[in-house]
Structure 1
Amino acid sequence: MGWPAALCLGFRFSSFRRTSVILQHLRMSGSAGAAGDVLFGRKGCAGVMTLNRPKFLNTLTFQMVQQMYAQIKKWEQDPETCLIIIKGAGGKAFCAGGDVREISEAAKAKQELCRVFFRKEYALNYAIASCQKPYVALLDGITMGGGVGVSVHGQFRVATEKCLFAMPETRIGLFPDVGGGYFLPRLKGKLGYFLGLTGFRLKGRDVYRAGIATHFVDSEKLPMLEEDLSALKSPSKENIAEVLGTYHAESKIDQDKPFSLEEHMDKINRCFSAKTVEGIMENLQRDGSPFALEQLQVINKMSPTSLKITLRQLTEGASKSLQEVFTMEYRLSQMCMSHHDFHEGIRAVLVDKDQSPKWKPADLKDMTDEELDNYFKPLGSGDLVL
Structure 2
Amino acid sequence: MTGTHSGEAPAAEVLAAEVLFEKRGRLGVVTLNRPKAVNALTAGMASAMLEQLTLWADDDAVAAVLVRGAGERGLCAGGDIVAIYRDMLDGGDATAGFWAEEYRLNSLIAGYPKPYVAFMDGLVLGGGVGISAHGSVRIVTERTRMGMPETTIGLVPDVGGTLLLARSPGESGTHAALTGAHLSGADALFLGFADRFVPSGRLAELAGALESEPADAAVARFTETAPPSVLAAQSGWIDACYSADDAEEILRRLRAFGGESGGEAAEAADTIVAKSPTAVKVALESLRRVRGLSLEEALEQEYRVGLRFLAGPDFREGIRAQVVDKDRNPRWQPASLAEVSRDDVESYFAPLGARELKLSKERDNV
What TM-score comes out, normalization by structure 1 length?
0.88
After superposition, residues 235-246 of structure 1 pair within 5 angstroms as 239-246=214-221
CA positional deviation for 1:374:
1.0
Following TM superposition, by how much is the alpha carbon of 1:202 offset from its aligned partner in structure 2, in angstroms? 1.1
Q: Which residue is equivalent to 1:286?
A: 256
Match of 2:97 in 1: 116
For the 8 Å contact 1:45–1:81, the answer to whether it is kept is yes
Q: Write the letter of the residue equivalent to 1:357.
A: P
Please tell me whether the aligned partners of residues 104 and 337 of structure 1 are also in contact (alpha carbons under 8 angstroms). no
Is 1:313 equivalent to 2:293 in the alignment? no
Q: Distance in 1 between matches of 2:230 and 2:43?
A: 36
Let me know the Cα RMSD of the aligned residues. Answer: 1.6
CA shift for structure 1 position 275: 1.0
2:319: which partner in 1? 346
Whole-angstrom CA distance in 2 between matches of 1:371 and 1:209: 33
Which residue among 64, 72, 77 is the counterpart of 1:83? 64
Answer yes or no: is 1:297 the counterpart of 2:289: no
Q: Which residue of 2 aligns with 1:155?
A: 136
Displacement of 1:34 after TM fit?
2.4
Residue 86 of structure 2 corresponds to residue 105 of structure 1: yes
1:358 partnered with 2:326: no
2:286 counterpart of 1:333: no
- Secondary structure class of the residue paired with 2:230: coil
Q: Number of residues paired by the alignment?
A: 351
> How far apart are 1:204 and its partner, in Å?
3.3
Separation in structure 1 between the aligned mates of residue 3 and residue 267 of structure 2, nearest angstrom: 50
The Cα shift of 1:27 comes to 5.7
The amino acid across from 1:385 in the alignment is K
Alignment of 1:273 onto 2:266: no
Deviation string for 1:199-248 (max 9, x for gaps)?
1111233322332210010111111111111112xxxxxx4222212211
Identify the residue that residue 129 of structure 1 maps to in structure 2.
110
Structure 1 SS opposite 2:157: coil
**Are 1:206 and 2:176 an aligned pair?**
no
| Matching residue's letter, 2:14 | A
1:378 equivalent to 2:358? Answer no
Match of 1:17 in 2: none
Q: Any idea what the Cα deviations from partners look like across 1:40-79, whole Å, max 9, x if unmatched?
A: 0001111110000000000011110110000010001111
Q: Contact between 1:181 and 1:318, CA under 8 Å: does it hold in 2?
A: no
Structure 2 counterpart of 1:9: none
Q: Which residue of 1 aligns with 2:20?
A: 39
Structure 1 residue 111, shift from structure 2 partner: 4.9
Q: Computing the radius of gyration over CA atoms, which structure comes out larger, 1 or 2?
A: 1
CA distance in 2, matches of 1:216, 1:42: 25
For 1:241 and 1:190, the matched residues in 2 are separated by: 30
Q: Does 1:70 align with 2:51?
A: yes
Give the partner amino acid of 1:171.
T
Kindly state the Cα deviation for residue 140 of structure 1 after the two structures are TM-superposed. Answer: 1.3
**What letter corresponds to residue 244 of structure 1 in structure 2?**
V
Distance 1:262 1:151 in 2: 22
Aligned residue for 1:202, secondary structure, equals: coil
Alpha-carbon distance change, 330 to 26 in structure 1, aligned in 2, over 3 angstroms:
closer
Matches within 5 A, 1:136-285: 136-232=117-213, 239-248=214-223, 251=224, 255=226, 257-285=227-255
Deviates more, 1:303-312 or 1:105-114: 105-114
* Residue identity opposite 1:341 in structure 2: D
Match of 1:16 in 2: none
Distance 1:284 1:117, change over 3 A: same
- The question of whether the paired residues in 1 share the 8 Å contact of 2:121 and 2:200 is answered with yes
* Alignment match, 2:362: none
Q: Distance in 2 between matches of 1:209 and 1:361?
A: 34
Contact between 1:33 and 1:40, CA under 8 Å: does it hold in 2?
A: no
Identical columns (%): 38
Deviation at 1:379, TM superposition (A): 0.8
**Aligned residue type for 1:368:** S
Residue by residue, what CA displacement relative to the aligned partner does 1:141-195 show, whole Å, maximum 9, x if unpaired?
Answer: 1000000000011111100111110111000000011101211011111111110
* Cα distance, 1:372 vs structure 2: 1.1
Instruction: Determine the C-alpha separation between the residues in 2 that align with 1:259 and 1:357.
Output: 32
Q: 1:28, CA displacement in angstroms?
A: 5.0
Q: Please, which runs of 5 or more residues in structure 2 have no aligned partner?
A: 360-366
Q: TM-score, normalised by structure 2?
A: 0.93
The answer to whether the 8 A contact 1:121-1:178 is kept is yes
Deviates more, 1:208-217 or 1:190-199: 208-217
List gaps (5 residues or longer) in structure 1.
Answer: 1-24, 233-238
Contact 1:304–1:364, Cα closer than 8 Å, also in 2: yes
Supply the distance in 2 between the matched residues of 1:82 and 1:313 (Cα, whole angstroms). 36
